Chain A
């Protein structure tokens, strides 16, 4: 169907190509049935599928804001990382003995290489005319096996990850406002407290110290007797210093 008028030139230097294939639509008479024009009929239906998909997509987006952890601190050596979900199977593979340490190359290169390489070569290995999955059991079995293996590895990786800790380690922490010249901070920095609670009270091995809701007396108590994993009696200063320190910490806030 030629819609336009064709081109008319003033001085046409183009040479007409002979035997140029006419622009005819594909012939589907081989499988007759209810064929339908792509434009615009089928495209409109496809767009309806797309619209339904888009609604689901937008609901997901609105219901789950995308995560953002705190700004990267490359010096934090305690952070346990996790890649995006589609890399989890590969990540998990590297945790097994046969694919890590001296055999790291197996998990990092050999197995993923075989997977991608095999996928690439599928049409050159499965060369029969048969298309139905059950009529070509080997390719079907290999694909199902590969899928099961990836599913299992991903599952293991998710199950073995400490999600509570992962959430805590990445949380955006409010900055604690304090005066580093204050007496309280000087005592804090001179004592062992700073090792676990961080030099800006952000926590570390110990908990963050801002907004604890504890009174100075309670903090003195904890410093002397410990609490949970924190040992007591690590503060070696005088009673008076401990009092100043407790008052100082009790007043710390993120506002």
Chain B
């Protein structure tokens, strides 16, 4: 039955090559931890992706309760944390995942660096990687404000002041982020929310697609 449905669709859309391209490649021995334990360092990229997926899923569930306005943001998080069934787990996964994804990304970067995998022909993928790196830090920075508790607001204040000290465009960056040249308030929260859940994830998904397409094109780097 399933086969028949598959064939029916395939006859019309020729979907086989799409997934075959991902499925049909051999994984070389030197990156396979089943053969060389030390090859676990090649898992860091995959684990980073794994946590990224969890971040997206848990984040989607968080927005079912979270309210991005200064009156209710904290209350909605408090409610989710203390009243909603498994709310503490969902928020906990997003909270700890945010740190884990950064840890795994650091480790992955170090793996690529110390195995010299950024060398020709992979320079561009390294550059895309650094852009992913910056995007991830941006996600961490904007997400920190959202619970609207004391540490959120005051850490963000410091961060925005740092951004504002950039010559020439500092003031402009500040207004773009905070929504006002002096107040850190309602506008800042809605902007950070939009950046955290729409702008940066969109950028991240685009960059990740580029990252993975390049890896498929070039294959993984050879053994040292």
Which residues in A have their C-beta under 8 angstroms from that of B134?
116
Report whether A33 and B28 are in contact in the complex, using a CB–CB cutoff of 8 Å. yes
Q: How far is the CA of A170 from the CA of B149 in the complex (A)?
A: 8
Does A174 sit within 8 A of B, measured CB to CB?
no
**Cross-chain pairs A/B with CB under 8 angstroms, 5 sampled:** A5-B11, A49-B43, A66-B91, A83-B158, A119-B130
Report whether A1 and B24 are in contact in the complex, using a CB–CB cutoff of 8 Å: yes
Please tell me if A17 contacts chain B, counting CB pairs below 8 Å: no
Once bound together, how far apart are the Cα atoms of A49 and B11, in whole Å?
Answer: 37
Which interface residue of A7, A30, A72, A87 has the most chain B CB atoms within 10 A?
Answer: A72
Contact of A3 with B by CB under 8 A = yes
Within the complex, which residue of A2, A7, A129 is in contact with B13, where a contact is CB–CB below 8 Å?
A7
- Interface of chain B residues 109 through 163 with chain A (CB within 8 A): 110, 113-120, 122-123, 126-127, 130, 133-134, 137, 140-141, 144, 147-155, 157-159, 162
Q: Is the CB of A81 within 8 A of B28?
A: no
Question: Is the CB–CB distance between A120 and B127 below 8 Å?
Answer: yes
Contact indicator B7/A170 (Cβ below 8 Å): no
| Residue in contact with A109 in the complex, picked from B7, B93, B166, CB distance below 8 Å | B166
Chain A residues with CB below 8 A from B149, complex form: 68-72, 170
Q: Verify B158–A170 contact, CB threshold 8 A.
A: no
Residue of B nearest to A113 (CB): B166
A-B contact count (CB 8 A): 238
State the B residues within 8 Å of A (CB): 6-7, 10-17, 20-30, 32-35, 40, 43, 46-47, 50-51, 54, 70, 74-75, 77-78, 81, 88-89, 91-100, 102, 110, 113-120, 122-123, 126-127, 130, 133-134, 137, 140-141, 144, 147-155, 157-159, 162, 165-167, 184-185, 219, 221-224
Q: Would you list the 10 A-B pairs with minimal beta carbon distance, nearest first? A: A131-B116, A81-B154, A4-B10, A39-B23, A33-B29, A66-B95, A123-B123, A69-B149, A61-B92, A35-B26
- Residues of A near B28 (CB, < 8 A) are 28, 31, 33, 35
Q: How far is the CB of A178 from chain B (nearest CB, A)?
A: 22
A8-B11, A86-B102, A143-B113 in contact; A62/B89 too (CB < 8 A)? yes
A65 to B119, CA, bound (A): 42
Whether A105 touches B167, Cβ cut-off 8 Å, given contacts A38-B26, A50-B47, A84-B99, is yes
Shortest Cβ distance from B167 into chain A, in angstroms? Answer: 7
Q: B116 to A36, Cβ gap below 8 A? A: no
A139 to B141: give the CA distance in the assembly, Å.
29
Q: B17 — which chain A residues lie within 8 A by C-beta?
A: 23
- Closest A residue to B109 by beta carbon equals A119
- Rounded to whole Å, the gap between the CB of B155 and the closest CB of chain A is 5
List, in ascending order, chain A residues with CB within 8 A of B98's CB: 84
Contacts of B113 in A (CB 8 A): 122, 139, 143
Does A229 reach chain B (CB closer than 8 Å)? Answer: no
Q: Is the interface of B mostly helix, strand, loop or mixed?
A: helix
Q: Are A72 and B152 in contact (CB under 8 A)?
A: yes
How far, in Å, is A31 (CB) from chain B's closest CB? 6
Residue among A25, A61, A74, A120 making CB contact with B93, cutoff 8 Å: A61
Residues from chain A with Cβ under 8 Å of B47 in the complex = 49-50, 53
| Complex CA–CA separation, A131 to B220 (angstroms) | 14
State the Cβ distance, B136 to closest chain A Cβ, in Å. Answer: 9
Do residues B74 and A72 form an inter-chain contact, with CB atoms below 8 A? Answer: yes
Is A124 touching B123 in the complex (CB atoms < 8 A)? Answer: yes
Do A37 and B26 contact each other (CB < 8 Å), given the known contacts A123-B126, A132-B224?
yes
Are B96 and A57 in contact (CB-based, < 8 A)?
yes
Complex Cα distance A76/B150, Å?
9
A26–B16 CB distance below 8 A: no
Instruction: Tell whether A79 is near chain B: CB-to-CB under 8 Å.
Output: yes
Instruction: Given A66-B95, A72-B74, A84-B144, answer yes or no on A94-B167 (Cβ-Cβ < 8 Å).
Output: no
Pair A65/B126 contact, Cβ less than 8 Å: no
Whether the Cβ atoms of A74 and B153 lie closer than 8 Å is yes
Chain A residue with the shortest CB-CB distance to B18:
A23
B140/A84 in contact, CB under 8 A? yes
A82 within 8 A of B: yes
From B157, which residue of chain A is reached at the shortest CB distance?
A: A81
